[in-house]
Amino acid sequence: MTIRHVVTWKLATTDETERAEQAARIKAGLEALPASIPEILALEVGINALLPGDNYDVVLISEFADADALQRYVEAPAHQEVAAYIRTVVAARSAVDFPA
């Protein structure tokens, strides 16, 4: 059963320029992961374009063959490196994992 993994982040900064730079760095880091993590079947990253005060700033939509593949992705060193940066700049995170 394919698992779709959706994560959204609200960045902590209120500075528009800084928020754009951080969102771009998150996007680039996440988009580089398929090259080193074969468990990723599909990956898309979006940066919010409307209502920055209300909406979350970055979204990740990814797919994995099953829950075990998702767990290997979470534990992969490349993912851990990107996640470590993300944790330093976010105020809030939400995630949903569901059968696709």
Q: Could you read off the pLDDT of 62-93 as tens digits, one per residue?
A: 999 999 999 999 999 999 999 999 999 999 99
Q: Which two tokens stand for residue 20?
A: 């754009």
Q: What CATH number does the domain containing 78 carry?
A: 3.30.70.100
The model's pTM: 0.96
Provide the number of structural domains found in the chain: 1
- Non-local (6+) Cβ contacts of 83 within 8 A are none
Give CA–CA dist 18/15, Å, rounded: 5
- Non-local (6+) Cβ contacts of 76 within 8 A are 33, 36, 37, 39
**pLDDT over threshold 90, residue 100:** yes
- What is the pLDDT confidence band of residue 53, given thresholds at 50, 70 and 90? confident
- H helix intervals, the chain: 16-32, 67-75, 77-89
Range of the domain at 46: 3-99
Q: Could you read off the pLDDT of 4-34 as tens digits, one per residue?
A: 999 999 999 999 999 999 999 999 999 999 9
